[in-house]
Structure 1
Amino acid sequence: MPNSAMRSTFERIIINQFTALHCAQAREMLGWTLEQLSQQSKVSVAAIQRFEAGEAIRDVTRLALAYSLEAQGLVFFPGFAPGRGGNIRGTTPDPIGREDFALIE
């Protein structure tokens, strides 16, 4: 499978399994404020608030949030609270190379 196809497959999985509840629970686990997550992910506080309130955000924005939280060693599975992954740093690819990276909210 070409690298770009693999990347988009991983991205689709994350987009569909990383939820607003995961985001809020992960922030709580890390003891992070909205501002701290915003700083780490480059996503605006307003977009994080919208996401955690259940509103739609861009896919690249969701990937940036998931990436920044997974970089702290958290893992996300549908239907479960975030967990610590030990040596795992997640599977979400760094969204900085995406063509739509400049559109992060």
Structure 2
Amino acid sequence: MASLAMKITLERIALFQFTPAHSAQARAMLGWSLEAFSRESGVTVEAIRRFEAGSEVLDVTRLALAYRLEAEGLVFFPGFAPGRGMSVRGSTPDPVGRADYAMIE
């Protein structure tokens, strides 16, 4: 039970810390177009566009974006541009393996 509570807590933190601006900045850092980010994350181009424009997307979609960028070693803190983590490789290395993956937009 404690591991489920920890997982939920980590997801809530990721949702709070990862902003639409982070998404666009991280894509630029990695040299990824919307199409490339879509291929890498499994999220539709339209959903990424909506998120980066500040519109609402499902939490699972937002997590898929954040986790895919974290898998590239990026870290996110509110009010700061994305940065490279020392040894960060994401808390979900394979978002496709998530139980709620089918809900991603």
TM-score above 0.5, yes or no: yes
Contact 1:25 1:82 (C-alpha < 8 Å) held by counterparts? yes
Q: 1:6 to 1:96 in 2, by over 3 A?
A: farther
Match of 2:8 in 1: 8
User: How many pairs were matched up?
Assistant: 105
Tell me the TM-score normalised to structure 1 length: 0.91
Q: Which runs of 5+ in 1 are unaligned?
A: none
Quote the residue 2:21 is aligned against.
21
Deviation at 1:91, TM superposition (A): 3.5
d(CA) in 2 for partners of 1:88, 1:96: 19
Q: Which aligned segments of 4 or more residues in structure 1 are displaced greater than 2 angstroms?
A: 90-100
Alignment of 1:1-105 (within 5 A): 2-91=2-91, 94-105=94-105
How high is the TM-score relative to the length of structure 2?
0.91
Specify the code of the residue in structure 2 equivalent to 1:62.
R
RMSD, aligned α-carbons: 1.6
2:68 and 2:93 in contact (8 A); partners too: no
Deviations 1:23-79 (A, max 9, x none): 000000000000111011000000000000000000000000001101001000111
Instruction: Give 5+ residue unaligned stretches, structure 2.
Output: none
Identity across matched positions, percent: 66
| Alignment partners' CA distance in 1, 2:90 and 2:100 | 21
Counterpart of 2:82 in structure 1: which amino acid?
P
Distance in 2 (CA, whole Å) between partners of 1:74 and 1:98 is 20
- Residues of 1 paired with 2:82 and 2:65: CA distance? 13
